[in-house]
Structure 1
Amino acid sequence: MVNGATHELRVPARRLLSDALRHDLRLTGTHVGCEHGVCGACTVLVDGAPMRSCLMFAVSAEGAEVTTVEGLANPDGSLGPVQQAFAECHGLQCGFCTPGFLTTITAGLRENPTPTHEEAREMVAGNLCRCTGYQNIVKAVERAAELGS
């Protein structure tokens, strides 16, 4: 199950989840930055938990519910609350790291819907951004919490 739709894929045993999403399902919102699980750009939600898709084999996702950045939009196609907060707070510049931040923050706010400023900073600490300096990303976490993500 990917973004609410059932998919049946036959993939080589060592195909990474990131590659299956990007190449087999054409969901290119999941970015691959470091291919070592360090940067967080490839983060997706697997059964609601953030997972580095470059570290997980696609076959390991059998029977799981995977949510990519494409699955974070509202059913009518409008921006979801975390996406809206990123836009309002200018939480992105080049955008390469953004999908990983959006999925990570979505999971973080489900676990802690009213984070303190320090908790918001901690929520994004595992994802790397080379452009923003993180200030507006943290503001976006706080704004998404206000929007009731």
Structure 2
Amino acid sequence: MNNTLVVSQFLSFTLLAWIAYKDLKNRIIPNKVSLLLLLVVVVTVPFQIQYLLLAFVTLVVGIVLFHYRILGAGDSKLLGILAYAAQENVGWFFVVTGLIGGAVSLLLLLCNQLNARQAIIIRPVNSVPYAIAISLGAFFTVPYLKL
């Protein structure tokens, strides 16, 4: 394994963990961190026009979903970046991300129900920190992130 790949893996893991944490804590994905991740992906992943177009379509769909308040703007950008990074695994990336996102949503729903019944005391959750699911989906499907 070459040093460049190790550095790319470390930076990507760190940036994705930070993005997931910030989304969980503040429901915000910082643009600067997304830009750093984009730079790591561009340097690490070989250029292929079909995956660039797919990433662009993903971003456009994300913007439409943001307009209808279904998906956050940061989530849309993160999906576009990681759709390109996943390359030939992009289909699995979307499937795994969706499954993990569903599990996170059910967990938050359960927490809200337990909170309503005063079984636990937490602040009610009104939105899903989807960057957690997107980051985990990337860990399982992006080729250069596999150890």
Q: Same fold (TM over 0.5)?
A: no
Which has the larger helix fraction? 2
Q: TM-score, normalised by structure 1?
A: 0.30
Larger RCO, structures 1/2 (Cα 8 Å, 6+ apart): 2
TM-score of the superposition, structure 2-length normalised?
A: 0.30
Larger radius of gyration between Structure 1 and Structure 2: 2
